[in-house]
Amino acid sequence: MTALNATHDPKLRSWVASANEAGTDFPIQNLPFGRFRAAGSSEAFRIGVAIGDQVLDLRAAGLVDTDDMNALMDAGTKERQALRAAISAGLAEGSDKQAAWSKALLPQAKAEMTVPCRIGDYTDFYTGIHHATTIGKLFRPDQPLMPNYKWVPIGYHGRASSIGVSGQVFKRPHGQTKAPDAAEPSFGPSKRLDYELELGFLVGRGNAQGEPIAIADAEEHLFGVTLLNDWSARDLQAWEYQPLGPFLSKNFASALSPWIVTMEALAPFRAKFERPAGDPQPLPYLDSASNRESGALDITLEVLLQTAKMRAEGVEPVRLTRGNTTEAAYWTAAQLVAHHTVNGCNLQPGDLLGSGTLSGPKPDEAGSLIELTLGGKQPITLPNGEKRTFLEDGDTLVIRGYCERPGAVRIGLGEVSGTVV
């Protein structure tokens, strides 16, 4: 686990004025990575770091000699920490880099962002126990959780080609569905389109095939965390998911925040990983003293919705739910890495591990509409009187995340938004 150092100092301030404003997602204590270019240009995407409402071009600042984010992610922990320290020192008040680096800044409002790295492979896990239990009750009332759930991190391999960045616009998916009283399935557009509130863990340095990553070393192989919305067609899913799991119900679109908040930046916001009393403890390969002591992440997640009517009337998105990852995730990021590689599977820089839907124990902490509306049986009423059971055409879904604790400066994960048409 990353130790606290000078880059986390709550007293640290930046010569970029917007980075010192209360409530900003990107103070100098954060410094998340992304890929950007000037909006409207055809330039190659470059590596940038968010600072306040600006993005710092790392190559223009002389901090890197590559535009390949995956190559940067492949660096060792010491190199990553040294780069973070150099960026922090150069952006700090009184730095002699201010004059030169001011020329390497671009307002985020004038930047076009893309997926923060090349994603070669994508595995989606199922770590949200409250989500798993609620969904299980809808599909299997007699056995909400399968016997393996509390022993093994459940996951499936998703589709990397359809992952987009925040601002994604995608078409409503089509596929087969089957009504309970129908003799045979029908084909058409999904009528139960949903979102999934997730975190995405991005792999840094990989491992050789046949060489598992021990849980004690797992976080050395994680570059950082981003927000993830894994759009889901629940009616397609119900018909296709047995016996091999999700397929067309998931692979049509997923969306990421443009920023990767590094594991180093999250050091002040770690939490104990504790299983509820009476639950089985992890097998030895999924257990370590450091994981028990601080393997969990303390991140607040919010979901907001803006309908087409709201947008036309200039009404801002309204919050549907808010919850915290410490109450939602049954497995830690380190456990996901250790389990993914225990059979010899080789991870590579830029691989994405989805957390699965992170719902809290309370109804207003649900991470999907299928939970919030109890499978569509209890529609929600928005402040303008519109009702929703599942997403309708023109709806924009927004996920935001942030970390805050006494004694630390609040940092944010930005947001990921997407619109169905």
Going by the annotation, the residues of the binding site are 124, 126, 140, 196, 198, 230, 237, 241, 250, 254, 357
Active site residue 8: no
Structure tokens at 188: 């058409």
Q: Looking up tokens 């004025």, which residue turns up?
A: 17
φ and ψ at 239, to 5 degrees? -85, -30
- Answer positive or negative: Cα dihedral of 259, 262, 268, 271: positive
Please compute, for residue 245, the number of CA atoms within 13 A of its CA located in the half-sphere on the CB side.
11
Rounded Cα distance, 409 and 293, in Å: 22
Closest residue by Cα to residue 258 from 417, 404, 380, 71: 417
62: left (phi over 0), alpha (psi -120 to 50) or beta: left
Rounded Cα distance, 6 and 85, in Å: 8
CB 84 within 8 A of CB 262: yes
Going by the annotation, the residues of the binding site for Mg(2+) are 230, 250, 254
Q: Which of 130, 131, 339, 340 is catalytic?
A: 131
DSSP string of 20-34, one letter each residue: GSTT-S--TTT--EE
User: 243 preceded by cis ω (within 30°)?
Assistant: yes
Rounded Cα distance, 11 and 152, in Å: 42
9 SS3 class: coil
Q: Which amino acid, one-letter code, is at 122? A: Y
Going by the annotation, the residues of the binding site for substrate are 126, 140, 237, 241, 357
Q: Looking up tokens 């604790």, which residue turns up?
A: 405
Kindly list the catalytic residues: 131
